[in-house]
Chains A and B, each alone.
Chain A
């Protein structure tokens, strides 16, 4: 069995670049303390394959853990979505996912589910609604169906902050329960910090749980990942527990940093009035900041300071790509860092503002 696992891992690493755009390996360690007071320390080797195309995205994680006491455990999980745009802000699609756990000695569990989803985007607010049906095979050798209904919301804020929350209703044969989760995240130039917590009520109610994670991007292909916290009991029969992990993720075919974590420091919100609120991050010592663009004949309009480095303005802008510049203290024409730009034909740059 061990030889088969190693062979599989070798094949995955070798064939990974052919089937996925991003392939990375995580090498690290795990310290876990389970609800029945058993503790374990293990080394971890995990492989991630992920990819996305215009309408399809997916990720597969497969890991092998070996306890210092000698036993080993393998795990694999996957999730994928396929969506089709229905209009300006709505997409309809399917999601499918699953996981498998196999423990030395023959103890194993699995879960697989799939179902439709609707994604709605409005400015920096992103919502998904979905449902799925599937099957769970528990470590107690029982098999039962599972149905979930999920609603999630995410709001992005200037400066790389994001707040997301969700509600999941779950019916698994005779069990019915609901979970509420909340996550706060910050994506910086070299780091991503996140805190995630949840609460469960119903037949599988549990104490609240929470986890914190940090990713530090050492190089484009090297990330240090660390996480710690508490996780809840699951349907497969595993108890809740405490954990701490630390490891180094090495990108094989792509940088390890996730694609959606580096957000341009400009937020565009469509307001109910039909106008657009632009909020941008502009660190520095500017006392006055103005924005001028092709929508109004390049007349500078003042931005209002919202925080130490945050400025905003409301404008009447139609959908499209607009060219603009910032005017600092009435004198210096410049563009924000980290936004799409192009030459202005006059020897400088203009920024591109996308309004959908």
Chain B
């Protein structure tokens, strides 16, 4: 990438970040063209984004998906990108409907996007509503749905993915802690557990381990498994040492 082009893209990205609701939609066409996209493709994307905005759907997932598709154009045909955008838009519509049904009116865009992502990973509508209902706040609902979708995408049984998030929120875990679950699953898999083992662990109520947990312990001593002495011979104190109060 040439430095000038990179600076231009960076400036456009910065502008869209500064005014996400308006500038992103206005600038998606310009962003794509600045990156060398054909005008026709940029117009198609802009039209989908504009239509979504008119329906009060969140547009950030569409903008991001369009830019990702264009960035990966070396292996992704542009008509595939448009098809994915249409699919994403349809998912957002369903997500909005489900979030409305869960009692959010108007539905927060982040929750709608997360619900669409979860539904797209095969998580059922009732499960989406349940995660929303147990979440302590809308932001937490978006996090919980995103994590459930990520767990399902990793191959975890969907029931286990939903249970992990649901039980975590019911158990008082924070959204920050729930965010660790995908990494925890990856760690378990790397540790030799099959995905069905992980799912069983969750469904049996074992939950997921928190990365970085542990570390208290007491004072140092003899390792477990090493007898303190051979019976009748070794028990006792080191010469000159007093360790009995």
Task: Please name all residues of chain B whose beta carbon is closer than 8 Å to the beta carbon of A260 when the two chains form the complex.
Answer: 187, 209, 211-214
B225 at the interface (CB under 8 A from A): yes
A139-B235, A297-B13 as given contacts; A320 in contact with B186, CB under 8 Å:
no
- The winner among B149, B206, B225, B231 for most chain A CB atoms within 10 A is B225
Q: Is the CB of B215 within 8 A of A164?
A: yes
- Chain B contacts of A354 at CB under 8 A? 179-180, 182-183
Give min CB distance, A111 to chain B, whole Å. 8
The segment out of A8-16, A72-80, A275-283, A306-314 that lies at the interface is A72-80
Task: Check: B40 CB closer than 8 A to any chain A CB.
Answer: no
Q: How far does the Cβ of B243 sit from chain A's closest Cβ, in whole Å?
A: 6
Tell me, rounded to whole Å, the shortest Cβ–Cβ distance linking B184 to chain A: 8
Contacts of B234 in A (CB 8 A): 34, 36, 38, 40, 239, 241
B171 proximity list for chain A (CB < 8 A): 54-55
> Given A168-B219, A299-B6, A345-B84, do A77 and B192 touch, yes or no (CB 8 Å)?
no
Kindly provide the distance from the CB of A190 to the nearest chain B CB, expressed in whole angstroms: 10
Query: Contact size class for B?
Result: 35 or more
User: Closest CB-CB distance, A222 to chain B, in whole Å?
Assistant: 10
Tell me if B188 counts as interface (CB < 8 A to partner A). Answer: yes
Closest Cβ of chain B to A249, distance in Å, is 11
Kindly state whether residue B134 has any CB partner on chain A within 8 Å: no
Contact of A105 among B182, B213, B231 (CB under 8 A): B231
CB proximity to B under 8 Å, residues A40-63: 40, 42, 44, 46, 51-55, 57, 61, 63
B166-212 at interface with A (beta carbon < 8 Å): 167-168, 171-174, 176-177, 179-180, 182-193, 197, 201, 204-212
B1→A170 contact, CB < 8 A: no
Distance in Å: Cβ of A317 to nearest Cβ of chain B: 12
Cβ of B2 within 8 Å of any chain A Cβ, yes or no, is no
B214 nearest CB neighbor, chain A only: A260
Could you tell me if A238 and B193 are in contact, using CB atoms closer than 8 angstroms? no
Does A261 belong to the interface (CB within 8 Å)?
yes
Check if B76 is an interface residue, CB within 8 A of chain A.
yes
Mark interface residues in A238-278 (1 if CB within 8 Å of B CB, else 0). 11110101010000001111111111100000000000000
Cβ-defined partner of B228 (8 Å) among A57, A84, A236, A255? A236
A196-248 at interface with B (beta carbon < 8 Å) = 198, 200, 204, 209, 211, 217, 219-221, 227, 231-241, 243, 245, 247
Least CB distance from B132 to A in Å reads 17
B107 proximity list for chain A (CB < 8 A): none
Q: Does A243 contact B223, Cβ atoms closer than 8 Å?
A: yes
Q: How far, in Å, is A252 (CB) from chain B's closest CB? A: 13
**In whole angstroms, what is the CA distance A148 to B188 when docked?**
33
B172 is contacted by which of A77, A84, A241, A356 (Cβ under 8 Å)? A84
- Known contacts A32-B226, A77-B224: does B206 contact A21 (CB below 8 Å)? yes
* Complex contacts, B25 vs chain A, CB 8 Å: none
Kindly state the separation between the CA atoms of A164 and B69 in the bound complex, as whole angstroms: 43
Contact A231 B215 (CB under 8 A): no
> Which residues from chain B contact A179 at a C-beta distance below 8 Å?
219-220
- With contacts defined as CB atoms under 8 Å apart, how many contacts are there between chain A and chain B in the complex? 337
**Smallest CB gap from B121: residue in A:** A342
Cα A38 to Cα B235 with chains together (Å): 10
At the interface with chain A, which of B45-53, B60-68, B97-105, B123-131? Answer: B60-68
B188 partner, pick from A88, A231, A259, beta carbons under 8 A:
A259
Q: Which residue of A lies closest to B16 (CB)?
A: A297
Residues of A with C-beta under 8 A to B182: 321, 340, 352, 354
Give bound CA distance, A280 to B179, whole Å.
Answer: 19
Q: Is the CB of B228 within 8 A of A238?
A: yes
Contact with A along B214-245 (1 / 0, CB 8 A): 11111111111111111111111111010111
B56 within 8 A of A: no
Q: Is residue B133 within 8 Å, beta carbon to beta carbon, of the partner chain?
A: no
Residues of B within 8 A of A52 (CB): 206-207, 209, 213
Which of B6, B16, B218, B231 is the most central at the interface, judged by chain A CB atoms within 10 Å of its CB? B218
B154 on the A face (CB < 8 A)? yes
Q: Are B216 and A128 in contact (CB under 8 A)?
A: yes
A121 and B188 form a contact (CB under 8 A): no
Q: Which residues of B contact A128 (CB under 8 A)?
A: 215-216
Known: A36-B236, A77-B224, A209-B220. 4 other contacts (CB 8 A): A101-B227, A232-B220, A238-B229, A344-B68
Q: Which 8 A-B pairs have the closest CB atoms?
A: A220-B192, A342-B153, A173-B245, A238-B228, A262-B190, A71-B231, A340-B182, A40-B230
14 cross-chain CB contacts under 8 A: A34-B230, A40-B229, A46-B224, A51-B206, A54-B168, A103-B231, A105-B231, A154-B212, A189-B190, A257-B192, A296-B13, A339-B183, A342-B154, A345-B84
